[in-house]
Structure 1
Amino acid sequence: MDAVDSSSQDWKAQLNLPAPDTRYKTEDVTATKGNEFEDYFLKRELLMGIYEKGFERPSPIQEESIPIALTGSDILARAKNGTGKTAAFCIPALEKIDPEKNAIQVVILVPTRELALQTSQVCKELGKYLNIQVMVSTGGTSLKDDIMRLYQPVHLLAGTPGRILDLARKGICVLNDCSMLIMDEADKLLAPEFQPSIEQLIRFLPASRQLLLFSATFPVTVKDFKEKYLPKPYVINLMDELTLKGITQYYAFVEERQKVHCLNTLFSKLQINQSIIFCNSVNRVELLAKKITELGYSCFYIHAKMLQDHRNRVFHDFRNGACRNLVCTDLFTRGIDIQAVNVVINFDFPKTSETYLHRVGRSGRFGHLGLAVNLITYEDRFNLYRIEQELGTEIKTIPPQIDLAVYCQ
């Protein structure tokens, strides 16, 4: 690997790079050691993709992960949502792939189809100049199409565990040369519905494979898996406290029948770039989206019972700014990175602190400021108190006026 020479600034100048946005960044993104991407002796073509994507310097999770991953060590990394986790594993994965070798060399497992699409897009953008073939494979899409695609060269495969295991069992997805398995949102992947598939999938990998686990929360399931498959991992923990800095959290105490009225008031008072509104059931998502549309606001909805093509279209259009508000279930809490979202509203308050953390983490992405508003009924009061205690955070009563400076840049 060639170190980047002193002319690196010249080729950076030739790329039409977006101006770095350094305003209002919180220290979970800015408190770095001062490393540069050049310090990791990455391929020049990879550096070009990194800078063209608008990354200036590594964030703390990237500083910790990239050099360790490049040494071949297993990693167990705990970092907040929105702090650059995806690039922390995509960059070393892309660096280690040999594009001349026609084989799957990296598999990235994620729990949802939307996150698989998003992660593969990040890989494609970062690897724009590397001639690396990236493929997405998830349940709910045509198996035949995946089989046809795997007859072409694929270097990096991102997807959900069930589908990739299915292809491996059929002998279509050959993993003999896969030296790196990455699990993003590892806590969710090691829940009972996924863990057996993952353990079976690992058997298709070479014994020398490298495992990288990334998550914001590490419950007991992860500890058991770690003892079995990662005997001596390099542990990275950037989570002294769980909630994201830069997110202001409020609650409004309401009766169930007042919730829609309360939401209408919030829409009229808040300066929303884009908002995500969470409900606790599929039925309530559809009913609320209908109500919001009747109130005259633009609104999409998404949930797990929709057809995959429809889900993809909604996700893509919302991400591209076609609509201001999105109503959804917890399907959408995992790793979905839409920077324009500055307000999250829990129309239904979640049952666990983990769900709360992941929902609220949809605003304030990558160190920007965000606002979370929780509609609390009498039945929710104990959950509110417990979640505050468990996360060591304060959810304040909503004031008559919310200062724009706390959530608008």
Structure 2
Amino acid sequence: MQSQPNASSSQDWKSELRLPPADTRYKTEDVTATKGNEFEDYFLKRELLMGIFEKGFEKPSPIQEESIPIALTGSDILARAKNGTGKTAAFCIPVLEKIDQVNNVIQAVILVPTRELALQTSHVCKELGKHMNIQIMVTTGGTSLKDDIMRLHQPVHLLVGTPGRILDLAKRGICKLKDCAMLAMDEADKLLTPDFQPTVEQLIHFMPADRQILMFSATYPATVKEFKDRYLRNPYIVNLMDELTLKGLQINQSIIFCNSVNRVELLAKKITEIGYSCFYIHAKMPQNHRNRVFHDFRNGECRNLVCNDLFTRGIDIQAVNVVINFDFPKNSDTYLHRVGRSGRFGHLGLAVNLITYEDRFNLYRIEQELGTEIKQIPTVIDQKIYCR
């Protein structure tokens, strides 16, 4: 049985790590308006607390404060919060806490809609659990099925992946989920679209009847109520989506969105022709090419990235603080996920929309659905707000 740390020993770890003081000057209330909780208040395993502090987390964000203690009780959760507010750690921390490293079976599954998000989420889990000896496996479509089968013959405690590949492995009897007590769904709105929902529901039937489900997203479609009523047991509801607009600051890196693959390539070509550097990425590119572009952009080798909506969900690059909608999105969910790429984890971000006459109806509808006003760019930018 794991010994529980006391508050003083946890403080010692933090001082040993010599973490810099948190700079909250450029953060929004999504991460600063907390209740004042500490990670030590949740009585987490010592090894997990070490990983949390070493990753640079000092105090829980509001979504973490709302979710972590409830998840640790075993309750189902339906959580809605903006991108960049710490949603990933809000479910990764309780998942890691509840895994028994001695029991070599799959005890938790984290479902995500894309390969990129699966890799990123597993990386977060590995960093947080670096002292815990938890075996984490990533599995997604478009990779070697044989390699996955061989890996599953070794101990796996936590499985992170896309629904189709995990279901395939479960149907083959290779991925055994009878002991999987937790299912976390990130970008749950995408996982509940017609492309994914039937697969997700089949996958749930391979798990125990008393499994715990944690659902996180920035938006939820109408289908979520039916899914919630069918699979969640008296879920705890978290809604931190009162403020939907994002403020901005000077450009570090920018993401420019287009509505089609063809326009992504044309715009990237034009940007390059007029003398600016940019990368581009879209859904029709080979996976290894997409991985390389994403890796290089994340490492700061280029300041501008042109893409389609492949890139909107859950991709966490903290240097991105400006999003430009070169093509205005057609619905509010897409708009919200696009602008959520800027201002990660509460830092200020700027979203710029280029509007044509034909976009006026979509603009009005999105404003109404989100309960916000997309304002015209002012003639004179207030340096105190946008350029700190």
**Same fold, TM-score > 0.5, yes or no:** yes
Q: One-letter code of the match for 1:283?
A: N
**1:375 counterpart = 2:354:** yes
2:212 to 196, 206, 210: 210
**1:304 counterpart = 2:283:** yes
Task: Give the conservation status (yes or no) of the 8 Å contact 2:279–2:304.
Answer: yes
Q: Map 1:124-273 onto structure 2 (within 5 A).
A: 124-241=126-243, 243-244=244-245, 246-247=246-247, 271-273=250-252
1:348 to 313, 320, 327: 327
Aligned pair count?
A: 386
Alpha-carbon distance change, 408 to 97 in structure 1, aligned in 2, over 3 angstroms: farther
Q: One-letter code of the match for 1:293?
A: T
**1:362 counterpart = 2:364:** no
Q: One-letter code of the match for 1:15?
A: L
Residue 350 of structure 1, CA deviation:
0.3
Gaps of 5+ in 1: 249-269
Task: Give the conservation status (yes or no) of the 8 Å contact 2:10–2:49.
Answer: no
Distance 1:153 1:101 in 2: 9
Task: Give the conservation status (yes or no) of the 8 Å contact 2:192–2:223.
Answer: yes
Q: Map 1:56-95 onto structure 2 (within 5 A).
A: 56-95=58-97
SS of alignment partner, residue 140 of structure 1: coil
CA offset digits 1:322-346 (Å, max 9, x no partner): 1101111111111111111111000
Higher mean C-alpha displacement, 1-10 vs 328-337: 1-10
User: Match of 2:302?
Assistant: 323
User: Match of 1:47?
Assistant: 49
Task: Give the conservation status (yes or no) of the 8 Å contact 1:16–1:52.
Answer: no
Q: One-letter code of the match for 1:230?
A: L
Q: One-letter code of the match for 1:310?
A: H
Distance 1:315 1:407 in 2: 27
CA RMSD between the two structures: 1.5
Distance 1:405 1:134 in 2: 44
CA offset digits 1:7-48 (Å, max 9, x no partner): 222222222535423222111211111000000000111011
SS of alignment partner, residue 154 of structure 2: coil
1:337 to 305, 316, 336: 316
Task: Give the conservation status (yes or no) of the 8 Å contact 1:2–1:41.
Answer: no
Q: Could you state the TM-score of these two structures normalised by the residue count of structure 2? A: 0.96
SS of alignment partner, residue 31 of structure 2: helix
Distance 2:76 2:300 in 1: 38
Q: One-letter code of the match for 1:133?
A: Q
Aligned structure 1 segments of 4 or more residues deviating by more than 6 angstroms: none
Distance 2:163 2:115 in 1: 10
Distance 2:219 2:14 in 1: 37
Residue 75 of structure 1, CA deviation:
0.7
Distance 1:232 1:108 in 2: 21
Task: Give the conservation status (yes or no) of the 8 Å contact 1:302–1:314.
Answer: yes
Residue 168 of structure 1, CA deviation:
0.7
Residue 119 of structure 1, CA deviation:
0.6
CA offset digits 1:159-188 (Å, max 9, x no partner): 110011011111111111111001011111
Distance 1:281 1:147 in 2: 36
User: Match of 1:314?
Assistant: 293
Alpha-carbon distance change, 51 to 408 in structure 1, aligned in 2, over 3 angstroms: farther
CA offset digits 1:348-393 (Å, max 9, x no partner): 0000011111101111111111111111111011211221222121
Q: One-letter code of the match for 1:247?
A: K
Q: One-letter code of the match for 2:278?
A: C
Gaps of 5+ in 2: none
Task: Give the conservation status (yes or no) of the 8 Å contact 1:17–1:53.
Answer: no
Residue 205 of structure 1, CA deviation:
0.5
**1:32 counterpart = 2:34:** yes
SS of alignment partner, residue 61 of structure 1: helix
User: Match of 1:113?
Assistant: 115
Alpha-carbon distance change, 408 to 308 in structure 1, aligned in 2, over 3 angstroms: farther
CA offset digits 1:86-124 (Å, max 9, x no partner): 000000000001111111111000111111111111101
Task: Give the conservation status (yes or no) of the 8 Å contact 1:106–1:180.
Answer: yes
Distance 1:118 1:21 in 2: 24
Alpha-carbon distance change, 365 to 405 in structure 1, aligned in 2, over 3 angstroms: farther
Distance 1:27 1:53 in 2: 21
CA offset digits 1:61-87 (Å, max 9, x no partner): 101100110011111111111110000
SS of alignment partner, residue 116 of structure 1: helix
Distance 1:322 1:16 in 2: 29
Q: One-letter code of the match for 1:70?
A: L
Task: Report the identity percentage.
Answer: 82
CA offset digits 1:286-333 (Å, max 9, x no partner): 111111122222211111111111111111111111110111111111
